[in-house]
Structure 1
């Protein structure tokens, strides 16, 4: 293992630099130990192309992330395994898809499933988490040395997650402990930006997040106006959507303020060169055709890595990488063995600018269920006395086995397979009469502001009406040329000229389902009918050979 990391250092011609700096320099002690400090910043709900380095939802929206991208390695094909928070984060820290950590949706990992953070803690690292610790369950399986309270962060969790100064304070506290104990550290810093509510939103439901406590959340360093934003290609350019995106952009700027605050702490403490900084998001933005789904805007995320004098800066536009790759990568860098079961790939060779002998040719993202937490249900019942009726019509059922009483969930079995150009989506929940049964159809958990804007505009605008209804109703299978149509406007599933590509995508998804033990496999083959029989027979022929 030590040889591999020495090779990683040498790959950029920097081995001498890392090993020959004055020994009284604090950062050298950690660099030469070959066990990096790790700062993993995980954003809530950020599309790949929202930050400035990837296009930007607004001008100069992420100056600190742009600098991080320039100084580090940026993956243009970074993906989340699941397009919603808890399962995405649990997959990230176990290195496996949800079916392989023992649950789907918003439920804990199974007993005995190893986690990255626990493995590091057991082998000499200090591990810390800021915000969202409740989305990595059960807490004891993740082996945190410190969480908010131990780091001196006493404000409500939803406030801490939106306060750049809180992240700086927590990181500084962890560094002090690491210095005192002469240990390396892993900090998982989970920003609540850009999760709803956005900056500038009226927050009638703040009591659900912050326990009814009056809060004072810092302003972003820049606040955006509707005319400044760039509307994603998936959405119609409507005034209400621009207003929503302006609030999103302002929240994104505060997230960038948090990134800058953390980077400043590393610089001030002399740990900039000995710390691997990783920036990712858990899923796409919380607007239609993004979060809670399996479109390109749902699953493609920013994915940055910076380790000065070790990782060669640049852009990797070829390899498809996933959050599940972080666990095997960090284990290797820490000199620890990989877990017995992993769905991810180590990124160490890519960090070194090398081309791995084997790499995934397609990538799968999924959704398992939608959720309405008990606190949210209580609030909605005060505003809409018929809310339980809506939940019943929409297919939600109460889950007494969930840790939050009064929680409702519904199945939303969705799978996507992306080969680098074409995106294939299988909607296992598809019901042609779904819109008749629920005000929002079966496709989405509820009406976010932008979707409600589309709903209102659909009454007088035929183009918006078609777009709005296609999002809600959908079809059993969808197939898009995401290279030319990233906004998913043209479903090509029945187009004769791409049937070869459709079958290749179905085959890729079938192989993944088989290898990963996906319980949706029998349903998938049955609902595809003759095409499912053909796929199964081809797979059996390959296996027999």
Structure 2
């Protein structure tokens, strides 16, 4: 692994900034439209209940990927993978929300920002280095405070329209209307589907409360579909649609019990589509296995940037796309808010193997946040009254085995654990072996308890600041460094009249004109941004 040390050296390890607008315009714009908490509950993915006309139409010009999997069925650890290209359990980032409210954490765990190896960057830095204007509107939730160098703009007003003329853009828009919390917050909305038309899966009791919450989830997906169209229409209205790659996906599986927070298909399998300006493979379907760690590497590849060696992901499209397809995707779950658990999984195209590190406990975790959902309370009440059938009641059984194996071709709901079926012994042995190899290769430190890991990265309990930028000048060129290993530097020019230019990532000495000043700030994942320093 190539290690990036010291900010003066760090800059040279990244791609040089493209200076010519003409050269920049050869690169495609890229936009990611990311929704929250949905499994493939979309018409073009085969859901006959979903009302999603805009995504269905978009699918005709896009590639539909049916085998894309998050590393966990919940947002924060997934977003860590989506911004770094690394398995969150490799870096102590697989817990549900290291930042945020202490009320959603076990006793003794206070909010903290994950600190990782100094070579790890938000992948958007590489895009910014290559001349892209990068915006995020507006969710982050990365498990660490946002480095100043991650985005040109990040917030509710961030938009590719704000870029300087001639610059290609990379933009993420997060649509939150499908989030789990919207199931109870939007329960009184006029529904887009008839609850009686819904197919209730066998792990739910079939009653009016369950059907209503499922219908609300479908209604939220319909609203997201409209918001998707609005964002695409903005590209067309600005005459940039014909040079823009559009990517759409969800941050994890569905919002309902048995979906979110689980590491079975209903929690990890997400819909994913991508369209190209030239119509590349328009309307096609791919069952290629893709993990969330692959997405940053692929976006860099689409921008003709080679992914750094520290990324765990493999590009599946673009200039550097791997010709060899993945055999497996991997993931696992840990602490979910205040509840502690540990599971890992490996999945190929047909089978899923799960290892339970707390055998003899239920799959169900009594997460307080979820208790606002009517159907969750209804299911709990029915279980208390022993009115659930054996499949539905298994959610609460203290009978988890150390291992689970599912044949998704025969058992798409993953209800029949065949780990003790001798006819699958060769499959079991193969998946065990590859799961253990993944642990050893990528996530050997995953088993350090969270409290011990916090002490390791924050020995004094305080989040460090990146060291302030330091300046030197030679032959009219300003060099900027930071004493923090692995820090990146944002800088901007301040003109004589006080006007300030846009922030850029430092990559090489900067030429100043007469009476110009330069401002800079240092940043590193897990560290607080340094103070802004001015060189005159």
Q: Give the TM-score, by structure 2 length.
A: 0.70
Task: Using the TM superposition, give the Cα deviation of residue 430 of structure 1 relative to its aligned residue in structure 2, in angstroms.
Answer: 2.9
Can you list the C-alpha shifts for 1:344-374, whole angstroms capped at 9, x where unaligned? 111226x99x9x5422211112212211xxx
Going by fraction, where is strand more abundant, 1 or 2?
Answer: 2
Gaps of 5+ in 2: 1-20, 99-112, 450-536
Q: Does 1:336 find its partner at 2:305?
A: yes
Instruction: Assess if the C-alpha contact under 8 Å between 2:332 and 2:345 holds in 1.
Output: yes
Alignment partner for residue 468 of structure 1, among 393, 400, 421?
393
1:15 corresponds in structure 2 to none
Q: Is the 8 A contact 1:280 1:302 kept in 2?
A: yes
Picking from 359, 365, 369, the partner of 2:331 is 365
Where 1:181 maps in the other structure, the secondary structure is coil
2:154 is equivalent to residue 143 of structure 1: no
Q: Kindly tell me: are residues 458 and 411 of structure 1, through their superposed partners in 2, closer, same or farther at Cα, counting changes over 3 Å?
A: closer
For the residue of structure 2 that corresponds to 1:34, the secondary structure is coil
Q: Deviations over 1:253-306 (max 9, x none)?
A: 111111010011111111112111111111111222211111111110001101
CA distance in 2, matches of 1:254, 1:93: 26
Give 1:478's aligned residue. Answer: 404
Shift of 1:75: 0.7
Give the Å deviation of 1:128: 1.2
Does residue 110 in structure 1 map to residue 112 in structure 2? no
Counterpart of 2:39 in structure 1 is: 47
What's the CA shift string for 1:172-229, capped at 9, x where partnerless? xx22x22x432111111111121133266369xxxxxxxxxxxxx9x78x63331232
Displacement of 1:340 in angstroms is 2.4
Equivalent residues in 2 for 1:368-517, closer than 5 Å: 368-371=334-337, 409-432=338-361, 447=371, 448-458=373-383, 463-464=388-389, 466-471=391-396, 473=398, 474-517=400-443
Please name the residue that 2:135 is paired with: 128
* Counterpart in the other structure of 1:519: 445
Aligned to 1:93: 83
Range with greater deviation from structure 2 (108-117 or 266-275): 108-117
Q: Distance in 2 between matches of 1:427 and 1:452?
A: 26
The range that moved more, 480-489 or 316-325, is: 316-325
**SS of 1:78 mapped into structure 2:** strand
Report the 3-state secondary structure (helix = DSSP H, G, I; strand = E; otherwise coil) of the residue aligned with 1:129: strand
Deviation at 1:47, TM superposition (A): 0.3
Identify which range, 110-119 or 417-426, moves more after superposition. 110-119
Aligned-residue CA RMSD (Å): 3.0
Structure number with greater CO (CA < 8 Å, separation at least 6) is 2
Give the TM-score normalised by the residue count of structure 1. 0.68
2:262 to 293, 311, 320: 293
Q: Which has the higher helix share?
A: 1
Q: Secondary structure at the match of 1:369?
A: coil
1:330 to 1:358, Cα distance in 2 relative to 1, 3 A: same
Conservation of the 8 A alpha-carbon contact between 2:289 and 2:329? yes
- Tell me if structure 1 keeps the 8 A contact 2:202–2:392: no
Task: Evaluate the alpha carbon distance shift between residue 233 and residue 116 of structure 1 in structure 2; reply closer, same or farther with a 3 A threshold.
Answer: farther
- SS of match in other structure, 1:273: helix
Instruction: Write the distance in 2 (CA, Å) between the matches of 1:430 and 1:31.
Output: 57
Q: Aligned residue for 1:186?
A: 170
CA distance in 1 between counterparts of 2:325 and 2:133 reads 32
Question: Which structure 1 residue ranges, 5 or more long, are not aligned?
Answer: 1-28, 152-169, 204-216, 372-408, 524-545
Cα pair distance change 1:97/1:337, threshold 3 Å: same
How many residues get paired? 410
C-alpha spacing 1:145/1:57, structure 2 compared with 1 (3 Å): farther
Deviation at 1:67, TM superposition (A): 1.6
Question: Contact 2:135–2:153 at 8 Å: present in 1 too?
Answer: yes
Spell out, residue by residue over 1:407-454, the C-alpha distance to the aligned partner (whole angstroms, 9 max, x if none).
xx343221111111111111213344x69xxxx657997544333222
Q: Is the 8 A contact 1:426 1:476 kept in 2?
A: yes
SS, match of residue 308 in structure 1: coil
Q: CA 1:225 to 1:135, structure 2 compared with 1: closer, same or farther past 3 Å? A: farther
Per-residue deviation, residues 376-398 of structure 1 (Å, max 9, x unmatched): xxxxxxxxxxxxxxxxxxxxxxx
Q: Deviation at 1:317?
A: 3.5
Q: Per-residue deviation at 1:330? A: 1.7
Say if 1:248 and 1:491 are closer, same or farther in 2 by CA, change over 3 A: same
